[in-house]
Amino acid sequence: MKTAIGIIGLGVMGTSISRNLARNGFSLSLYNRFVKGVEEDVAQKKINQYEELESALPFEDLKLFADSLTSPKKILLNLTAGAAVDHIIDQLLPFLTPGDLIIDGGNSHFTDTENRLNRLQSKQIFFMGLGISGGEAGALHGPSLMAGGSEDAYALSENFLKEMAATTAEGEKACDYVGSGGAGHFVKMVHNAIEYAEMQIIAELFEVMHKGMRMGYTEIAAVFEQWNKNEFDAYLLDITIKILKTKDEKGYVLDRILDKASYNQTGSWTLIAGIKDFHSCSMVAAALFSRFNSNRSKAFKGLSITQQEDVPLKLEVDQLRAVFRFTRTVNHYQHFRLVEEMSEKAGWNIDLQKLCSLWSAGCIIKSKLLVQLSPFLENRLGPFFDPQYLNQLNSDRSSVATLITETANTEIPLPCISAAHTYYKQMTQRKSSANIIQAQRDFFGAHGFQIIGGNPGDLHHYPWER
């Protein structure tokens, strides 16, 4: 019996995707590497464990695995980004023929995806970089899928990808072709950066409420619940509510979790991409550095600044709601601008409205905000250019300033909230202090400066007294 789709890599995501596809009626061949004493009979064990997979075929031999697939062969990789992907491609190639398709469903760097695409094109093998968002639950019940590479590759896989994808509120599938080359993995990378910043914003607001306003977990959860129901409908806020409410016989589970945040490479990759493009990604930078700082050395753990422990912060939860609204808008704006700029440079022609639709279901950053932003992205403009959003941002800004002022003499850090406030001030101020920086550069290095009202690009020097 030949099967329709081959899955390589049966970790959490690979297993959930396999169960999703099997439940949607696709016949599968499952492959996992054999490592004696560590990974043995993994595919067979998964088949035994999950009833959806009872008709799937298990393999530990790549040739037999490839031979079990109908032509053109369609193989989905769920592997750790990096060398493991190249290694398995090298092993697969002898068993593939022109017209077969390899899909990389991991978090690969978009430039690696483009290199693999170019390499496999010369062998007439289709390759696609597929961004998958939604975590374990999304992979199982319906993720958001961002396909990049050749349109022919997407045409070969569109049927089964759409079947496994989430469905938006409008009844559309959260699956589409976003652009050529590494576009699929690039937008997934940026999606993760938005996720990083939003998680940090929520954590900062939690800390303000818990430490600064002396609110208990249940009380904070109730506030978040009200916000989510009435305005935001954000997945990350929803899971935070559930986390805050979770108790067992030992008490709140949150109280037993070490304050040490982990991270993968996608946050830093986005920051680096922004830096290379001379684009401000201050929100993901703040979120990423906060995770780094949570792994602080023992030398710093005993230090503490003077606190106003006995005086609760004088803040209203409606002010914090405004802070959440403000920072999320800035976060999304920064990252949509990065996608827009990189898309133009690479010739990907990424549709920002399409991203709003793809990210509105089945993914970690899904929220009502994406639906609200979509109309303002039709002409590739951000919300800063729309009077409705500009008025809202200006209104919310005072709450952000109040929060920053109130926490200044406490131990509560606000890296992402402060980054959003600073970015907004710099982008909207009438005149910045950059003229003194350029004067300094001209003074010590004769780098030159532009004159107000002069021709763009014309550089002038001044004979500074030394």
pLDDT in tens, 121-162: 999 999 999 999 999 999 999 999 999 999 999 999 999 999
| Domains: count for the chain | 3
Give the residues across from 133 on adjacent strands: 144
- Give the tens place of pLDDT for each residue, 66-79: 999 999 999 999 99
Q: What is the mean pLDDT of residues 269-293?
A: 96
| 3-state class (DSSP) for residue 69 | strand
What integer is the mean pLDDT of 405-430? 95
Q: What is the mean pLDDT of residues 79-90?
A: 94
Task: Write the secondary structure of 191-208 as one string of H (helix), E (strand) and C (coil).
Answer: HHHHHHHHHHHHHHHHHH
Please check whether residues 320 and 351 belong to one and the same domain: yes
pLDDT, tens digit, 9 for 90 and up, residues 263-279: 889 999 999 999 999 99
Which of 13-27, 86-100, 288-302, 391-405 shows the lowest mean pLDDT across its residues? 288-302
Last residue of a domain, one of 181, 211, 237: 181
Cα distance between residue 71 and residue 97, in whole Å = 9
Do residues 56 and 154 share a domain?
Answer: yes
Mean pLDDT taken over the chain: 93
What is the DSSP-derived secondary structure letter of residue 450? Answer: P
For residues 448 and 320, state if they share a domain. Answer: no
CATH code, domain carrying 462: 1.20.5
Rounded to two decimals, the pTM is: 0.94
Whether residue 188 lies in the annotated active site: yes
Q: Tell me, what CATH number does 203's domain have?
A: 1.10.1040.10
Which of 10-14, 183-187, 383-387 is least confident?
383-387
Round to whole Å and give the CA distance between 125 and 105. 17
- Write down the catalytic residue from 188, 198, 204, 366: 188
| Residue 223 reports pLDDT greater than 70 | yes
pLDDT of residue 400: 98
162 classed as catalytic: no
End-to-end CA distance of the chain: 84
- Contact between 11 and 131 under an 8 Å Cβ cutoff? The reply is no
ω into 375 cis (within 30 of 0): no
* pLDDT(310) > 70: no
Query: Of these residues, 60, 73, 74, 195, which one is catalytic?
Result: 195
Q: What percent of the chain has pLDDT over 70?
A: 97
Q: Which domain holds residue 460?
A: 435-466
pLDDT score, position 387: 84
Instruction: Give me the pLDDT at residue 298, please.
Output: 57
Share of the chain above pLDDT 90, in %: 87
